[in-house]
Amino acid sequence: MLHHKKLSGLYIHIPFCRKACNYCDFHFSTQLHSLNRMVKGLAKELKLRSSTPKSSIDTIYFGGGTPSILADQSLNILMETIKTYYNVSTSAEVTLEANPDDIDSDKAKSWKRAGINRLSIGIQTFNDKILKILNRSHSADQALKSIEWVRQAGFHNISADLMFALPDASDILLNTDLKILMNLDLPHLSIYGLTIEDKTVFGNWKIQNKRAFPSDADYERNYRIVHEVLIQNQYEHYEISSFAKNKHFSRHNSSYWLQNPYLGIGPGAHSFDGENRGHNISNNQIYLKQMDIGHAQLIIEPLSLTEKMNEYIMTRLRTHFGLDFEQFEEKFHRDIRNDHLKFIDQICLEGLAFLEKNKLKLTFAGFLISDEICARLFYPIS
Ligand code: SF4
């Protein structure tokens, strides 16, 4: 069992999508007939995992899957259940992930009324041909229109997802996508390079040599273009894949990276109580049966002290928060700076990292090889 004495984030996983994107290995189903039953199950889990006195919540995040698939009434049920069983801060950040094809004027207004105050819109690219290759359910026009609708409904805190290193894409296409995106002037962007995962359509195509995918060199060049264009446009590259203007950082995700406790609701959702991690089963039908009998079973992932130390190193170095030497010593009783004195000096000299107020932070060059840097700083697992 996890002990959630203090919560800061609440994540609700909506495990349904209209169709499967060819690159995606998240937990979702396209069998929408069990959507209403799932909403009841999620409401039940919210109640089962609540405590007395109520836990305080600073951020709520509806992720997926595709949360924008929820009917207005279903979203209202979930929001009301959260407010009944949790102590939601009046200034809470409440994010909903949305796909452009689900957005119209009425939908955007109903989200606003339900208490959503931040939207994360999955655009990926503005090129219709590539959207088809990705098997996305929307068009470029719908993406542009969706931003208009949500702005007209009064949303300012908007994030968009874009992808690079896409099949059949080129630097010209990426620059075109970025130009369109910069014109939209959104406060937050999440920009990911495509990675080919096993058990996805792209994974199969790759094994069967059915399509050429960008090389590591393409990936690196594209990532550099993204970084440079965004910096020129006053975005802060505050996490490996995240960019914010005027400090509009994602409070929910920042809380993950700072290792604050959070509760994950729904099939496959992860939770963290400040010490240990756990997750729900990634199977909609088994999850629903568990909710029917009122038994929310969490699969605990016990972490050794060394694993916790390495996780701290990894999550901190991927963000602008940086690896805090003093905090590391307080938490783990190890002087990491001293343990890795030579290596830290070397990466700072090579322009891969820098020191700021007793914290080690990576530069963009460091982000490019962050896995290698982290691996060198990790403590051996016995
Ligand atoms: S909409 Fe999102 S979660 Fe659903 S298949 Fe596509 S990328 Fe995956």
306-377 CATH: 1.10.10.920
Domain boundaries, the chain: 9-257, 306-377
What contacts 263, CB < 8 A, 6 or more positions away?
A: 4, 7, 9, 10, 11, 49, 55, 271
pLDDT digits (tens, 9 = 90+) for 124-161: 999 999 999 999 999 999 999 999 999 999 999 999 99
**Residue owning the nearest CA to atom 6 of ligand 1:** 21
Q: Which CATH number fits domain 9-257: 3.40.30.10, 3.10.180.10, 3.40.50.10800, 3.20.20.70?
A: 3.20.20.70
Q: How many helices (H) and strands (E) does the chain have?
A: 16, 15
The two beta strands, 236-239 and 242-244, are: antiparallel
Beta-sheet strands, E only, within the chain: 9-14, 56-64, 87-98, 118-124, 158-164, 188-193, 236-239, 242-244, 262-265, 270-272, 277-279, 299-301, 323-324, 353-356, 359-362
pLDDT digits (tens, 9 = 90+) for 294-331: 998 899 988 899 999 999 999 999 999 999 999 999 99
Instruction: Give strand pairing partners of 163.
Output: 192
pLDDT digits (tens, 9 = 90+) for 235-276: 999 999 999 999 999 999 999 999 999 999 999 999 998 888
What confidence category does residue 74 fall into, taking pLDDT thresholds of 50, 70 and 90?
A: very high
Residues with CB under 6 A from ligand 1: 17, 20-21, 24, 26, 28, 64-66, 99, 122
**Residue owning the nearest CA to atom 8 of ligand 1:** 24
Contact 281, 287 (CB under 8 A): yes
Atom of ligand 1 nearest to the CA of 135: 6
pLDDT at residue 113, rounded to an integer:
98
Contact 239, 319 (CB under 8 A): yes
